[in-house]
Every structure is written in C-alpha cells, then in structure tokens.
Amino acid sequence: GKFWQAGLESNMRVLIIDDDEQIRVLLEQMMHWAGFEVMVAENGKVAMQLQRERPADLVITDLIMPEQEGLETISRLKKDYGGIKIIAISGGGRIGPEAYLPAALELGADRVFSKPFDVQEIVDTVREMLRPGL
C-alpha cells in the first residue's frame, strides 16, 4: 500500500511546546520540512490534551513557561507515556538556563538545548532519536 512508499519519518509525530510564538513557528516549519507530522502547544496544559488525543513520538518543550512548567510537563509525559522521547529547551530565567537543564534530564528529558539553539542541530537530533530501531 501507499503507507510503505512514504518516508520512514512521515508517520512520526512531533509535539512542540513553547510559549514563544516565533520559536514555535520556526520549529514547526523545520519539523515539517524534515518530514514529520507536527503539533504545537503554547503551554503544558494544552500539550497534555493534544497528547491524549493524538500521542506524539517525540516532544520538544521549553522549560520556562507560564501555566504549566516545562519540568512538570516532562515528568507527566514520562509517567503517562513511558517510551516517549523528550528534548528540553531552556531560554533561562532569572537563574539562567543551566540551572534547569540538569533537572530536565533527571525528570526524563533525553536531550537538552539552551537558547539560542541551532535549529539544524535540533532537527538532526530528532531524526536520530526517531530512527527506527532505536
């Protein structure tokens, strides 16, 4: 069937969570171009609703957001969706991004990036993390 002709990535779904619209749009476009199906949410609450409706294979989440903290979102995702892959991005806050990234890893993030990040590097990381058989 047609399914098999599709690229391996085409059925992989990525969920992007960031309260910064510019970053959301940038990541969304890049993931689309890379061949993934993309969902976006501006906070953890919305993200959890989307995830329940159509579970993503990988989540890219900002850590500093209003509503539901990124760290809380990561621990929830890991608890409810064991196999999910998570990339955490931190733009810092008053105490700087470095303070949050170790906590994100501890809660279950697979990779962490601090802003400003290299978009291509994130796309490559997502591809690598979603490669079949990993």
Supply the pTM of this predicted model: 0.86
Long-range contacts of the stretch 111-116 (C-beta < 8 A, 24+): 111/86, 111/87, 112/87, 112/88, 113/87, 113/88, 113/89, 114/89, 114/90, 115/23, 115/89, 115/90, 115/91
Residue 5: its pLDDT value, please?
44
Q: For 58-103, how does the pLDDT look when each residue is reduced to its tens digit (9 = 90+)?
A: 999 998 776 657 889 999 999 999 899 999 998 755 656 567 788 8
98: tokens are 């470095």
Look at strands 58-62 and 37-41 and give their pairing: unpaired
